[in-house]
Structure 1
Amino acid sequence: MTLIEGSATVSRELELNPEPGILVESLRDIGYSFQSALADIVDNSLAARATKIELFALPMQKSGFMVGIIDNGAGLRRNDLLQAMRLGSSNPRDTRVQGDLGRFGLGLKTASFSQCRRLTVLSRKDGQTSAFCWDLDEVVKNNQWNIIELTDISSLQWLEKLGESGTLVLWEKVDRIAGSRKLQSGNIERLVSEAQTHLSLTFHRFIEGSHGLRKVSIWFNGYQLQPLDPFNTDNPATQAGALEKIMQNVTLQSFTLPHASRYEDAAEYVKYGLPGGYQQNQGVYLYRANRLIIHGTWFGITKKLPQTQLCRVCLDIGIEEDESWKIDVKKTSAQLPDDVRERIKKLMVTIGSPSRRVYRRRTAALTSPDAYPIWRRYEKDGKVFYEIASEHPVIGEFRSSLDSEKRRCFDSLLSFIGTTFPLEALTYDLSNDADKVTMEDMSHEDFVDAARAFSERLMRKENMGTDDVVAIMKVIPPFKSRWSEAALVLGVDE
């Protein structure tokens, strides 16, 4: 207790330490996901200048689901490792060295605690190997911040993979992954696959060795991760805007991704859409020290529209900007400073225009009354021919439901119908009394089936949004003359 005398009052300072058992349980609920927790550990490996990082997430017969992260970085001596295991091991306001991906001195601990109740870290440097362990059950039981120093490390999982220098982070008693001891193989595969994609995206610059970075190989359960560049800069159809320096330590560059028709196959197109698809992942991609922090957000500046779904904006900030951007402990959220927000607002018109032009040109062609004809007209050897357009969405949707043999028979049927078109009779009737020539209306049931097949084909095969499909169907037959029925099928209000 300390007495403090002021000009008008006398007060006392009382030491009021937090309850270890309560605080440590609270720290587990900061909000990490499995993949964001792994990314935080990888940050430490990169800060240690590792060139190879191996991750394992596997069910063990005796000890349940376990996670290990091993790197060949610089490693830590005993006292440095002990300090690194302290909660709040560094001051967030201290000057950081260039490329330092940490800030609060909490990431290793809070990320690990969010997933497991026993964290062991072993590090090797200059021939010295040290290991410490936080066991949260012991902290709660004794209600004390007592860390365990391991003197016998021979039984540690994945120890044999550690080289002459580097660090092993081991998660045991993993209890936050949907009943980890009872995880089925399918769930594990999904969990690992999602984490692999997340890491491939978050650290793609490090894996590529781009932006002046040393190349780092990252392996996950024996699979080497490939970089996932959200801007698809290797595709010649990607449109890149000029690199602009908005303010000190902040640069911006806009990208318009290629339309689906400019990809070699559907799998590649889906890959660069990222989980959730193009419309969900449009927006700002914020990098801090070349590490992706946040992606797919306009920070409330504008809505995510189908017309701008190909637009992605790269924002790079330096580590000096942490406080002004309010980077959180998990490195999964940030806030735009007011001056940057205002600048992006002014840039929005030009940022989104290439993406809008891609879809405007395409939509203008598709919303022509002549788009998607059932009968195709073409000229050959000085003559005019008509044939059924087998690629029409309604026909194409039906064809795709057939097996190869039935599809061949169906194509033969279309050819047969096309060649037996009553051209002479139609010409005679039109020349005598064109007003009498008309077509029988479809039944309501047949019309609904056709409208549903048409819209689903465009949405699934051509990746169109509802707004684009509505614009097309409003102007082409037979939907334009029976639009109220078509609107009900699409579920839109008119």
Structure 2
Amino acid sequence: MTTENIETLPDPERMIEGLRDTGYKFNTAIADIIDNSIAAKATYVDLQIVMDIRDNIRVSIADNGEGMDRAGILNAMTYGSQRRSDPSSLGKFGLGLKTASTAFSRVLSVVSRPSGSAPALQATWDLGHVAKHGWHVQLTDEVDPEALDHLNQIAPAHSGTVVLWTRVDRLIKPYAQPGGNAAQNALNKIVKSLRDHVGMVFQRFLDPDDTRAANVEIRINDEKVHGWDPFCTGVADKVGDQTVDLETPEGRKAHFIFRAYILPRKEEFETDHAFKKSRLGNEAQGMYIYRENRLIQEATWLGMYTKEPHGSLLRVEFSFTHELDEVFDIDFKKSQISLNEDLWIALRDQFLTAPRREANKRYRQGRKAETGKKAQGAHDSSNRTIAAKEGALDNTTISEPDPKTGAAELTNAQGSFRIKINFGTAQRPGEVHVQTVDSLDDGALFEPTIIDGHKAVRINTSHPYYGKVYIPNLAQGVTVQGMDSLLWGLCLAELSTVSESTADHFEQMRYEVSRILRKLVEDLPDPELDDVAG
């Protein structure tokens, strides 16, 4: 048997064009470039993303890090470059610089110098050049003058590096009239999104008071980026804090940190600015996963739960170091992790159970109070309508309750007998037929009552039917009157036909109706209370 070792090199053009489609998003790509700057111990990173009058975009990322000599720059431009000496480096697989850059540009250049006195060198991957001449990077000491100016501004007489993207063809769509506002507006939105993303991903590096990571200043188009703390640690409640030990495939001990935070409800923030800064909302709930103090995955439950409003106050920190890269199967874009089944189940069923329960409770408490506020005055028209028809419809009489037993004498078509029924007073002028309360026994939706001598219905605003059916329609007066009239009519019919032998049956029917309605509306969305007229 003959065995040959034959080297089969990939077609340069097909390979380098294919690597453009690795799934990078612009924000993720730029974050990968910043990773390299931080790995090079930069304290200042400056991004310039500009467009000329022909809509040509130029992205220049300069830092004052350690810089590279000839061997270093060639290694950096190699696909699958040599491992860094520091295993905790944010740059991990030796692919990010190239794949992130060419995902959006057809020409990637790196300009670098190892010291302030050394000449700068430039290495370039030009996809067109590769297609014509093969798998060759272009190296020159004749560097791009604008890139050199950028380097000198950020790292004067100092080592540093500039990553330059030109012929950017995958960032914004082409516009029929170059130089117009449409393309610039599109780019402005992209830059704003990037600024928010960088502030979130590198928050621990950007916050000078955070001692977990080295301090780095980052500017985008001359505007300083400020870190965004997803946990609002100054005002949120920490409801879980655990350090969990794991074993690496090599048998070494490592650990990850799990911390759960419950954010304040909207009305509990002291200022509108603090509330807006929190980005409180359904989509921002979940785990925020950090590798070496750099956020790699945000607002995810890793498939454990669906995002629904009751969990919107809960955010969880999940932090680990490079020792657990293989355990968590981190991808080459450093954008997500994968947990083994045992750990996934432990997080879902043990670590997160109590925080989720508490977050749900606090959300419901706030929802209950806000729903009660929205209900104020929403039933006034119903009270007026029923008052006008009450005399023609009511054929029962009821006495004042006995102060000792609480029972009152009811007279209807079935005769006279004593029943127990709640007596109350109007909480608002004219509120004597339909009254909202924040709870009823056994979670019932409604019950008959007597308010200032009038037959009335009390409606439970904590019942899901009220929150999901009434609340979205509070501005629709006819709809609210229709639902109120139905419930008041059911209560009046009960008082008109009830007897001592059937009283328990009517009560049980109300509880059963309330249970059925609770199940029927459980999959309906919770309305946004801010959008509801109240």
Q: Is the 8 A contact 1:363 1:468 kept in 2?
A: no
Deviation at 1:491, TM superposition (A): 11
Deviation at 1:386, TM superposition (A): 4.7
Given residue 165 of structure 1, which amino acid in structure 2 is its aligned partner? S
Q: RMSD of the TM alignment (CA)? A: 3.7
Q: Is the 8 A contact 1:206 1:213 kept in 2?
A: yes
Q: Residue 325 of structure 2 is aligned with which of 315, 322, 331?
A: 322
- 1:189 aligns with 188
Deviations 1:272-313 (A, max 9, x none): 22xxx6211211111000000001111111221211111111
- 1:462 aligns with none
- 2:357 aligns with 353
Give the alignment of 1:391-402 within 5 angstroms: none
- 1:418 aligns with none
Q: 1:387 to 1:263 in 2, by over 3 A?
A: farther
Deviation at 1:430, TM superposition (A): 7.0
**How far, CA to CA, are the matches of 2:97 and 2:293 in structure 1?**
19
Matched, 1:105 2:94: yes
Matched, 1:179 2:173: yes
- 2:135 aligns with 145
Could you say what secondary structure the match of 2:162 adopts? Answer: strand
**How far, CA to CA, are the matches of 2:471 and 2:374 in structure 1?**
12
Q: 1:282 to 1:11 in 2, by over 3 A?
A: same
Q: 1:322 to 1:430 in 2, by over 3 A?
A: closer
Q: Is the 8 A contact 1:70 1:168 kept in 2?
A: yes
Matched, 1:116 2:99: no
Q: Residue 160 of structure 2 is aligned with which of 144, 162, 166?
A: 166
Corresponding residue pairs, total: 403
- 2:416 aligns with none
Give the alignment of 1:366-381 within 5 angstroms: 372-374=376-378
Matched, 1:470 2:468: yes
Given residue 357 of structure 1, which amino acid in structure 2 is its aligned partner? K
- 1:135 aligns with 126
Deviation at 1:10, TM superposition (A): 3.2
Q: Is the 8 A contact 1:123 1:165 kept in 2?
A: yes
Specify every segment of 5 or more residues in structure 2 that has no aligned partner in the other structure, as ranges: 247-253, 381-425, 432-450, 475-479, 488-516, 526-534
Return the TM-score normalized by structure 1: 0.73
Deviations 1:445-477 (A, max 9, x none): xxxxxxxxxxxxx9xxxxxxx988317649997
**How far, CA to CA, are the matches of 1:184 and 1:307 in structure 2?**
40
Give the alignment of 1:43-62 within 5 angstroms: 43-61=35-53
Deviation at 1:363, TM superposition (A): 3.6
Given residue 20 of structure 1, which amino acid in structure 2 is its aligned partner? P
**How far, CA to CA, are the matches of 1:294 and 1:468 in structure 2?**
37
- 1:406 aligns with none
- 2:297 aligns with 294
Deviation at 1:251, TM superposition (A): 1.3
Return the TM-score normalized by structure 2: 0.68
Deviation at 1:90, TM superposition (A): 2.6
Deviation at 1:172, TM superposition (A): 0.4
**How far, CA to CA, are the matches of 2:21 and 2:212 in structure 1?**
36
Given residue 184 of structure 2, which amino acid in structure 1 is its aligned partner? S
Range with bigger deviation, 69-78 or 205-214? 205-214
**How far, CA to CA, are the matches of 2:359 and 2:524 in structure 1?**
25
- 1:252 aligns with 258
Q: 1:370 to 1:268 in 2, by over 3 A?
A: closer
If you compute each CA radius of gyration, which structure gives the higher value, 1 or 2? 2
Given residue 10 of structure 1, which amino acid in structure 2 is its aligned partner? T
Deviation at 1:14, TM superposition (A): 1.8
**How far, CA to CA, are the matches of 1:191 and 1:56 in structure 2?**
13
Q: 1:293 to 1:481 in 2, by over 3 A?
A: farther
Q: Residue 78 of structure 1 is aligned with which of 22, 46, 70?
A: 70
Given residue 107 of structure 2, which amino acid in structure 1 is its aligned partner? R
**How far, CA to CA, are the matches of 2:452 and 2:321 in structure 1?**
74
**Percent pairwise identity:** 29
Deviations 1:40-61 (A, max 9, x none): 0000000011111101111034
Deviation at 1:63, TM superposition (A): 8.1
Deviation at 1:362, TM superposition (A): 2.5
Q: Is the 8 A contact 1:246 1:340 kept in 2?
A: no
Q: Is the 8 A contact 2:93 2:332 kept in 1?
A: yes
Specify every segment of 5 or more residues in structure 1 that has no aligned partner in the other structure, as ranges: 1-8, 377-383, 390-428, 439-457, 459-465
Q: Is the 8 A contact 1:375 1:387 kept in 2?
A: no
**How far, CA to CA, are the matches of 2:326 and 2:6 in structure 1?**
30
Range with bigger deviation, 217-226 or 175-184? 175-184
Given residue 361 of structure 2, which amino acid in structure 1 is its aligned partner? R
**How far, CA to CA, are the matches of 2:272 and 2:314 in structure 1?**
19
Q: Is the 8 A contact 1:367 1:472 kept in 2?
A: no
Q: 1:291 to 1:387 in 2, by over 3 A?
A: farther
Q: Is the 8 A contact 1:375 1:386 kept in 2?
A: no
- 1:37 aligns with 29
Q: 1:475 to 1:184 in 2, by over 3 A?
A: closer
Q: 1:262 to 1:366 in 2, by over 3 A?
A: closer
**How far, CA to CA, are the matches of 1:154 and 1:474 in structure 2?**
60
**How far, CA to CA, are the matches of 1:492 and 1:316 in structure 2?**
35
Give the alignment of 1:446-485 within 5 angstroms: 469-470=467-468, 473=471, 478=481, 479=483, 481=485
Could you say what secondary structure the match of 2:9 adopts? Answer: coil
Deviation at 1:336, TM superposition (A): 1.5
**How far, CA to CA, are the matches of 1:160 and 1:62 in structure 2?**
27
Range with bigger deviation, 216-225 or 317-326? 317-326
**How far, CA to CA, are the matches of 1:53 and 1:13 in structure 2?**
46
Q: 1:76 to 1:467 in 2, by over 3 A?
A: farther
Structure with the bigger RCO (C-alpha within 8 Å, sep 6+) is 1
Deviation at 1:81, TM superposition (A): 1.1
Range with bigger deviation, 255-264 or 197-206? 255-264
Matched, 1:219 2:219: yes
Given residue 93 of structure 2, which amino acid in structure 1 is its aligned partner? F
Q: 1:373 to 1:62 in 2, by over 3 A?
A: closer
Q: Is the 8 A contact 1:121 1:132 kept in 2?
A: yes
Deviation at 1:187, TM superposition (A): 0.7
- 1:449 aligns with none
- 2:4 aligns with 12
Deviation at 1:367, TM superposition (A): 6.0
Q: Is the 8 A contact 1:239 1:255 kept in 2?
A: yes
Deviation at 1:354, TM superposition (A): 2.3
Could you say what secondary structure the match of 1:323 adopts? Answer: coil
Q: 1:20 to 1:472 in 2, by over 3 A?
A: same
